[in-house]
Amino acid sequence: MIAVAAAVFLLQAALPQTGADLPVKMGFTVNPDTVVVGQPFNLLVKVHAPKGVRFEFPEGPDTASENGVRPIELRGARAVTMLGDTAVALYRLVAWDIGAQPLRISDVRVSHEGVERRAPLATASVFVRSVLPADEDSRVPKPARPLIVLPVFNWWPWIALALATIVGGLLWWAWRRYRNRPRPPIDPWVRAQREFGKIEARDLPGSGGAREYIADMVDVTREYLAARVTGVRRSDTTSELLRAMQPRDGVERDLPALLERADFVKFARGNVGAEEAAAAGRKAREIVDHVEARLNPESEPGRRAAAARQERAA
């Protein structure tokens, strides 16, 4: 192949021309002339012409593909230089298909004073040998793959799910805040009346629970006094509570006896009859009402006490 290419150097390009003859000599060399797929090789082109001529070398091989394969491809850019009256062009090429592959490079154009000649490179070729075993030499190139098409993803269901999750979370948070909201304080006298009602609804004195009944009623009384009377605490002993209360007026004078009887029942497991337990429960209610009327005249017990005083005065 090299020898044949060198011989072509002696060939003169013969094209129709206008004006005097323009002698042009061209030669080319393919090195190496036998390669494997993907192996680079060089095409060296030399064109000799008289002084003052203008050379135009092609940019590279034809890049059109065959069966989805581009047989010859230019690596980098061509290199063109002048050596006296000789123009030299170097192409670094690579082959991508096996067999004898023409380099598919256009003619070199040489022009001078309106006269143009073309030096053909149609005979330039390279042989690409296969590295496959002999029984696989008849390879058929695969067609070019289509462009990658990304699937269109429908985000709307996921956006709706995210919004529903956010709304659900906000509703759950609002419900938790509402459920755990601070409860308004209950008036001590109202709470005591509610607890007295629950204990009496169980009918403990009539069912053998007289001791439990009197203990529960006195506990409610203690809770009320601790919430309403200054200086009284729920943890006070009987003596501490009486010292803080100092009950002397009206029904409050019965408070020490009531507390002592409850202590006897709770701690000494003392016996108490149903009638005595019921009377102690009524006494606990009277003490709570009396203390509430004394400390809070605007309350219901306070208004009842004021009305009773007016009736007696009348």
**CATH number of domain containing 115:** 2.60.40.10
Q: Do both 197 and 125 map to the same domain?
A: no
State the average pLDDT over residues 126-155: 76
Q: How confident is the model at residue 272 (pLDDT cuts 50, 70, 90)?
A: confident
Of the three residues 95, 113, 130, the one that is the final residue of a domain is 130
What is the spatial distance between Cα 127 and Cα 32, in angstroms, rounded to a whole number?
Answer: 9
State the average pLDDT over residues 167-173: 95
Of the three residues 80, 95, 130, the one that is the final residue of a domain is 130
pLDDT above 70 covers a percentage of the chain that reads 88
Residue in the structure block whose two tokens are 């091989």: 61
Above 60 in pLDDT, residue 278? Answer: yes
Q: Do both 121 and 214 map to the same domain?
A: no
With respect to residue 120, please indicate whether it lies within any of the assigned structural domains. Answer: yes
Write down the pLDDT at residue 168.
95
Q: Do both 10 and 82 map to the same domain?
A: yes
pTM of the model: 0.44
Q: Give tens-digit pLDDT for 36-48.
A: 888 889 888 888 8
State the average pLDDT over residues 10-27: 53
Q: Do both 47 and 119 map to the same domain?
A: yes
What is the secondary structure of 246-312 as a DSSP string?
Answer: ---SGGGGGHHHHHHHHHHHHHS-----HHHHHHHHHHHHHHHHHHHHHH-TTSHHHHHHHHHHHHH
Range of the domain at 67: 2-130
With respect to residue 53, please indicate whether it lies within any of the assigned structural domains. Answer: yes
Write down the pLDDT at residue 167.
95
Write down the pLDDT at residue 22.
66
Q: Do both 116 and 206 map to the same domain?
A: no
State the average pLDDT over residues 173-180: 91
Contact between 105 and 63 (Cβ < 8 Å) = no
Write down the pLDDT at residue 82.
78
Q: Is the peptide bond before 182 cis (omega within 30 degrees of 0)?
A: no
With respect to residue 77, please indicate whether it lies within any of the assigned structural domains. Answer: yes
Write down the pLDDT at residue 138.
60
Q: Which helix (H) or strand (E) holds 68?
A: none
With respect to residue 171, please indicate whether it lies within any of the assigned structural domains. Answer: no
Above 70 in pLDDT, residue 258? Answer: yes
Total number of domains constituting the chain: 2
With respect to residue 138, please indicate whether it lies within any of the assigned structural domains. Answer: no
With respect to residue 28, please indicate whether it lies within any of the assigned structural domains. Answer: yes
| Token duo for residue 178 | 């509402």
Indicate the SS3 state at residue 229.
Answer: coil
**What does DSSP assign to residue 136?**
G
Q: Give tens-digit pLDDT for 53-68.
A: 888 888 888 777 766 6
With respect to residue 54, please indicate whether it lies within any of the assigned structural domains. Answer: yes
What is the spatial distance between Cα 10 and Cα 232, in angstroms, rounded to a whole number?
Answer: 130
Write down the pLDDT at residue 253.
87
- For residue 217, CA distances in Å to 157, 209, 211, 222 come to 62, 12, 10, 9
Provide the angle, in degrees to the nearest 10, between the axes of the packed helices 255-267 and 274-295. 130
Q: Is 173 exposed, middle or buried (0-12, 13-18, 19+ CB in 10 A)?
A: exposed
Of the three residues 106, 130, 154, the one that is the final residue of a domain is 130
> Considering only 3-17, 190-204, 286-300, which range has the smallest mean pLDDT?
3-17
Q: Do both 294 and 218 map to the same domain?
A: yes
With respect to residue 80, please indicate whether it lies within any of the assigned structural domains. Answer: yes
State the average pLDDT over residues 19-23: 57
Highest mean pLDDT among 36-40, 51-55, 160-164, 233-237: 160-164
